[in-house]
Amino acid sequence: LTERLQQAIGKLKRKGKVSESDVNEVMREIRLALLEADVNFQVVKDFVKDVRKKATGAKVLESLTPAQQIVKIVNEQLTEVMGQEAVPLQKSEKIPTIIMMVGLQGAGKTTTLGKLALKLKNEQHARPLLIAGDVYRPAAIDQLQALGQQIEAPVFSLGTDVSPVEIVRQGLELAQEKKNDYVLIDTAGRLQIDQKLMDELKQITQLAHPDETLLTVDAMTGQNAVEVAKGFNEQLNITGVVLTKLDGDTRGGAALSIRAVTGKPIKFIGQGEKMTDLDVFYPDRMASRILGMGDMLTLIEKAQQDFDEKKAAEMQEKMRENSFDFNDFLDQMEQVQKMGPMDDLMKMIPGMANNPALKNFQIDEKQIAHIKAVVLSMTPQEREQPDILNPSRRRRIAGGSGRPIQEVNRMIKQFDQMKKMMSNISKGNLNGMEGLLGN
Ligand code: GDP
Ligand code: MG
């Protein structure tokens, strides 16, 4: 999706002046890109119609920056279709707040339940109880128990011989007694929606009256995820959706359609198998991600979670003020290094994934060591004022770090580009997006 949109927009941007037929072409590309990404046909139709209407209203053709205007409108419309604002989890006035996970087999219910419990523990110091309500596969109970152990949360199970409804009933009793503030119910899935499963889930619902019934869907299944969401929503009163496996072959398509088709908010996205890989779903960030602007804010949030919060806030401020220097660059490299798998992270940095200017800036561990060597060979003054890095200083740095002069030059150039992009993105400034969307 992203690539196709970027191409269309890139083409538009190379033209100074834009004609109506250019706009039509872009609209056609957008339509195709969405359909290709498995977005529901009706959703695409409405989307294109709305963008066109806004584009006409905003007098795009008469503006000085028609291409940017269109990007902005597409971005806003994507955000709107996905629900505008993040929707938080419900919290019941009386404890416990009850959250029930539903979805097809393999969608990620059990994993997400563990992630969610950990999030609640970390963010609210919650004391969740996990209920093992999937009695059809013994392995499912073991899996939940292993997760419970890993995140240090108790798991209630009665094995596979008791009905899920009875397990939930007893589990809730235990939660009352132990004064758990959250109860998370894991349920069974099937390969397809079937009536027996639905009836069982309805029975559990009638007994437990969950505050949240979260439908877990696999983003990689595209259009099918949307069908599943529709089916579950018609039978159970789901309160929200968790879109999992967005770390894989990211089909933004499902995110776009699900909200439109079910009217229910996507509340979280799963971005990996680890227990910390669950993020709040922000429609505007997803829109930017789809448009290829990267997901800087999520990255910053990750940094804040995983490391020094104060440092991350400072970094954000520096990006805003455009006073990001080589010391920060070094800091950031070190933080990024600590943050885990490079591939995941790089994809979130604006422009890293698709920007040709940065294509050869694929960071691996060794390269980080080289970058560090170069920065450490700079004087403190050079690190703070990169502008003074003239050729003779660069030669000295190359000698000191043992890196070729071309590499030093390239790195400084990349630093400049990164700095410029960061500053633009932190200001939410679409006019500065040439570096990302152009080329
Ligand atoms: P359930 O049958 O719905 O309970 O699904 P599980 O929670 O057992 O997950 C099925 C598989 O998907 C497991 O191997 C999980 O590790 C994996 N999985 C779940 N969520 C994610 C995610 O966000 N990203 C990735 N890459 N894998 C996930
Ligand atoms: Mg499961």
What pLDDT shows up at residue 212? 98
Task: For residues 191 and 105, give the distance between their C-alpha atoms in angstroms, rounded to a whole number.
Answer: 5
The region of weakest confidence among 43-57, 254-268, 416-430 is 416-430
Look at 2 and 59; give whichever has higher pLDDT.
59
Q: Is 416 in the pocket of ligand 1 (CB under 6 A)?
A: no
What pLDDT shows up at residue 372? 84
Q: Taking the alpha carbons of 67, 73, 76, 78 in that order, is the dihedral positive or negative?
A: negative
What pLDDT shows up at residue 231? 92
CA–CA distances in Å: residue 62 to residues 253, 374, 384, 431:
32, 48, 42, 16
Which amino acid appears at position 147 of this protein?
L
Structure confidence by residue, pLDDT tens digits, 352-396: 555 444 444 445 667 778 888 898 889 888 998 888 999 999 999
The pLDDT of 286-314, averaged and rounded, is 60
What pLDDT shows up at residue 359? 44
Q: How far is the CA of 215 from the centre of ligand 2 (A)?
A: 12
Q: How far is the CA of 186 from the centre of ligand 2 (A)?
A: 7
Which residue has a Cα nearest atom 19 of ligand 1?
108
Beta-carbon contacts of residue 311 (< 8 Å; ≥ 6 apart): 303, 331, 335
- Per-residue pLDDT at 25 exceeds 70: yes
Average model confidence (pLDDT) across the chain: 81
Task: For residues 60 and 70, give the distance between their C-alpha atoms in angstroms, rounded to a whole number.
Answer: 7
Look at 192 and 217; give whichever has higher pLDDT.
217
Determine whether the annotation assigns residue 132 to a binding site. Answer: no
Q: How many residues does the chain have?
A: 439
Residue ranges with strand state E in 256-404: 266-270, 278-280
Q: Which ligand is nearest to the CA of 105?
A: 1
Determine whether the annotation assigns residue 114 to a binding site. Answer: no
DSSP 3-state of 55: helix
Determine whether the annotation assigns residue 247 to a binding site. Answer: yes
Q: How far is the CA of 173 from the centre of ligand 1 (A)?
A: 29
What pLDDT shows up at residue 43? 86
- CATH of region 2-81: 1.20.120.140
Sole residue written with tokens 């993020």: 279
Q: How far is the CA of 202 from the centre of ligand 2 (A)?
A: 18
Residues of each domain in the chain carrying CATH 3.40.50.300:
97-290
Q: Is 142 in the pocket of ligand 1 (CB under 6 A)?
A: no
Q: How far is the CA of 101 from the centre of ligand 1 (A)?
A: 13
Instruction: Name, of 2-16, 206-220, 305-319, the range with top average pLDDT.
Output: 206-220
Burial class of residue 19 in the structure, from the number of CB atoms within 10 Å of its CB (0-12 exposed, 13-18 middle, 19+ buried): exposed
Q: Are 242 and 215 in contact (CB under 8 A)?
A: yes
User: 100, 101, 109, 111: which to mutate for ligand 1, most atoms within 8 A of CB?
Assistant: 111
Q: What percent of the chain has pLDDT over 90?
A: 42
Q: Is 438 in the pocket of ligand 1 (CB under 6 A)?
A: no
Q: Which ligand is nearest to the CA of 242?
A: 1
Q: Is 38 in the pocket of ligand 1 (CB under 6 A)?
A: no
Q: Is 248 in the pocket of ligand 1 (CB under 6 A)?
A: yes
What pLDDT shows up at residue 124? 93
Say which CATH architecture domain 296-437 belongs to: Orthogonal Bundle (1.10)
Q: Are 139 and 273 in contact (CB under 8 A)?
A: no
Q: Which phi and psi angles does 34 have, rounded to 5°?
A: -70, -45
Task: For residues 56 and 74, give the distance between their C-alpha atoms in angstroms, rounded to a whole number.
Answer: 13
The pLDDT of 164-176, averaged and rounded, is 97
- Per-residue pLDDT at 86 exceeds 90: yes
**pLDDT class for 76, splitting at 50, 70, 90?**
confident
Q: How far is the CA of 230 from the centre of ligand 2 (A)?
A: 20
Identify any residues that bridge with 156 across adjacent strands, giving them in sequence order. Answer: 131
CATH T-level assignment (fold) for domain 97-290? Rossmann fold (3.40.50)
DSSP letter, residue 106: T
Determine whether the annotation assigns residue 208 to a binding site. Answer: no
Token pair of 44, please? 């695409």
The pLDDT of 27-42, averaged and rounded, is 78
Residues of each domain in the chain carrying CATH 1.20.120.140:
2-81
**pLDDT class for 282, splitting at 50, 70, 90?**
very high
Which residue has a Cα nearest atom 20 of ligand 1?
108
What pLDDT shows up at residue 74? 82
Q: What is the pTM of this model?
A: 0.69
Look at 416 and 68; give whichever has higher pLDDT.
416
Question: Which atom from ligand 1 is nearest to the alpha carbon of 216?
Answer: 3
Q: What percent of the chain has pLDDT over 70?
A: 74
Q: CA neighbours within 13 Å on the CB side: how many for 56?
A: 7
Q: In what order do the strands lie in the sheet with 182-187?
A: 155-156, 128-133, 182-187, 97-102, 212-218, 240-244, 266-270, 278-280
Q: Is 20 in the pocket of ligand 1 (CB under 6 A)?
A: no
Beta-carbon contacts of residue 160 (< 8 Å; ≥ 6 apart): 135, 136, 137, 138, 141
Task: For residues 349 and 336, give the distance between their C-alpha atoms in angstroms, rounded to a whole number.
Answer: 11
Structure confidence by residue, pLDDT tens digits, 113-155: 999 999 999 999 999 999 999 998 879 999 999 999 999 999 9
Q: How far is the CA of 243 from the centre of ligand 1 (A)?
A: 11
Q: Is 250 in the pocket of ligand 1 (CB under 6 A)?
A: no
The ipTM value here is 0.99
Beta-carbon contacts of residue 210 (< 8 Å; ≥ 6 apart): 98, 99, 100, 185, 239
Determine whether the annotation assigns residue 110 to a binding site. Answer: yes
Determine whether the annotation assigns residue 16 to a binding site. Answer: no
Q: Is 105 in the pocket of ligand 1 (CB under 6 A)?
A: yes
Q: Which phi and psi angles does 131 have, rounded to 5°?
A: -110, 125
Residues of each domain in the chain carrying CATH 1.10.260.30:
296-437
Beta-carbon contacts of residue 398 (< 8 Å; ≥ 6 apart): 374, 404, 405, 407, 408
Instruction: Name, of 7-21, 177-191, 302-316, the range with top average pLDDT.
Output: 177-191
> Which DSSP helix (H) or strand (E) runs through 11?
helix 2-14
Task: For residues 413 and 215, give the distance between their C-alpha atoms in angstroms, rounded to a whole number.
Answer: 46
Q: How far is the CA of 106 from the centre of ligand 1 (A)?
A: 6
Question: Which atom from ligand 1 is nearest to the alpha carbon of 269?
Answer: 23
Look at 339 and 316; give whichever has higher pLDDT.
316
User: 115, 271, 273, 281: which to mutate for ligand 1, most atoms within 8 A of CB?
Assistant: 273
Task: For residues 156 and 44, give the distance between their C-alpha atoms in angstroms, rounded to a whole number.
Answer: 44
Q: Is 187 in the pocket of ligand 1 (CB under 6 A)?
A: no
**pLDDT class for 426, splitting at 50, 70, 90?**
low
Residue-by-residue DSSP string for 217-285: EEGGGTHHHHHHHHHHHHHS---EEEEE-TTSS--HHHHHHHHHHH-PPEEEEE-SSSTT-EEE--HHH
The region of weakest confidence among 227-236, 308-317, 362-371, 397-406 is 308-317
The region of weakest confidence among 83-92, 96-105, 296-305, 307-316 is 296-305
DSSP 3-state of 159: coil
